[in-house]
Structure formats: C-alpha cells, structure tokens
C-alpha cells in the first residue's frame, strides 16, 4: 500500500484549474514506488506522442515531453524499441503502426503489473481513438476500418458516439480537444480506485494530472484567453 505517497500528494482540481505539480515532480515523488512509477510513465508517454504528432503537423512550436527526449518528440532521434511495430506494414500509415505498438506496450505492462486501471485505460483510449479515426475517415470518404488500431484491445462496452459528436461539432478545434479531455477526466474519475492506496490509485492520479496539464496547455495556447495585440 502507498498510504504516505498518496496522502502527501496535493489534491487535484477540476479541468481548467492550475495543475498543482508537474509530471516530473510526480515521477520524483514515486521513486519509492517503482511499479506505479512505471505505470505513470507509460500513461504519460501517450501525452508525449500526442505532442510529437502535433509538432510534426506544425500545430505547436515547442515540445515538453516527459518520457521521450526532445529529439525523439521532434522526430530527430529514433523512438524507443518498444514503440517499433512488430512487423512493418507498408499499406498502413506509420502513425497508426506507432499507436498500435504503444497501446500493446501499455497493455503488456498492465498485464505484467496486474494493473486493472491501466488495462481499462487502454481499453478506453483505444475505443476513443478508433471512434475519432473512424469519424475523420468517413468525413473524408475513406474506409473507417482502414484506420483502426489494436481493435482487440478496445472496450466494446464503451459508448463513444456522444463524445465524438460533441468533438465533431465543437466551434473551435481547441474546444474539441477540451471535450475529449473532459470525457477522459470523467472516465478516469470513475475508475480511480479511490481510497484503496494501491497501484491503481497512484496510476489514476497520474492520468488525471496529465489531463489537467493538457487542459492548461490548451488554455495557454488559446488566443481567446491570451489575446495578442
């Protein structure tokens, strides 16, 4: 049990509030809990890869990865070996192969560490990612099934139509991202193993902190909130 580690962590507010610590500070606090620390690192790699995608697409001007190096996040250095696809598939987008490798890496860690939260998180993220990819493909007149990844890992019971609909009709791309963060936040809060003082509660804390930081990053980039003139 990790009573000291959890009780010493600051409370997390709702999305839109200031994150009480950084991801690096959280990993430092988990030095005495190597298994949850590894789980949090695996979760946070998701954020690093999203930053990498945004950098490659020219959507952001800088990256601040936690697990990857800056060079890796800028595609200036090879990614870790566990993010390489098991077998190269020429007919599939490289980005999809990367996400497939990532989700299978986290699912494997969840199995090795018996983390129910991490396993469920993979199921939720794969389901959401595939639903979003399918919506984009349909809008472009493409076959949605060509863009799904790790379909066997997706949680089939998860309802994503509502969140995808709200994301698709958001008045601004940043608002669409906030829709997705709020959905992820509600999911994490419903699965946070509150008051168990175990691995899953620490992992859930890491996931929620990551979402607060992601929301804060959007606020910093939002010209409506920070006009330049």
Has residue 109 got a pLDDT over 60? Answer: yes
What six digits make up the tokens of 53?
A: 């995608």
Residue 140 Cα to chain centre, angstroms = 25
Q: Helix 116-139 and helix 199-221: axis angle, to 10°? A: 40
Bridge partner residues of 15 (DSSP): 17
State the DSSP code for 15: B
Residue 63: its pLDDT value, please? 96
Torsion angle of the four alpha carbons 136, 65, 121, 40, in this order, in degrees rounded to the nearest 10: 180
pLDDT tens by residue, 118-176: 999 999 999 999 999 999 999 999 999 999 999 999 999 999 999 999 999 999 999 99
pLDDT tens by residue, 182-208: 999 999 999 998 778 789 999 999 999
Provide φ and ψ at 15, rounded to 5°. -55, 135
pLDDT tens by residue, 45-56: 999 999 999 999
Contact 19, 216 (CB under 8 A): yes
State the DSSP code for 30: T
Contact 115, 107 (CB under 8 A): no
């Amino acid at each position: 049990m990790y009573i000291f580690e959890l009780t010493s962590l600051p409370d997390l507010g709702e999305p839109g509030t200031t994150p009480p610590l950084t991801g690096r500070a959280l990993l430092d606090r988990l030095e005495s809990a190597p298994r949850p620390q590894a789980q949090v690192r695996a979760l946070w790699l998701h954020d690093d890869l999203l930053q990498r995608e945004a950098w490659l697409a020219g959507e952001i001007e800088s990256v601040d990865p936690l697990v990857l190096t800056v060079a890796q996040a800028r595609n200036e250095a090879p990614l870790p070996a566990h993010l390489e696809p098991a077998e190269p598939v020429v007919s599939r987008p490289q980005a999809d192969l990367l996400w497939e490798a990532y989700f299978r890496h986290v699912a494997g860690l969840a199995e090795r560490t018996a983390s129910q939260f991490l396993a469920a998180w993979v199921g939720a993220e794969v389901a959401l990612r595939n639903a979003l990819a399918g919506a984009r493909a349909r809008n472009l007149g493409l076959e949605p099934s060509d863009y799904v990844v790790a379909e066997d890992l997706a949680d089939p019971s998860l309802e994503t139509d509502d969140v995808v609909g709200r994301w698709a009709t958001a008045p601004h791309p940043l608002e669409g991202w906030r829709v997705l963060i709020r959905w992820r936040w509600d999911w994490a809060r419903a699965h946070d193993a509150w008051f168990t003082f175990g691995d899953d509660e620490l992992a859930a804390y890491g996931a929620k902190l990551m979402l607060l930081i992601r929301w804060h990053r959007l606020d910093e980039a939002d010209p409506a909130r920070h006009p330049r003139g």
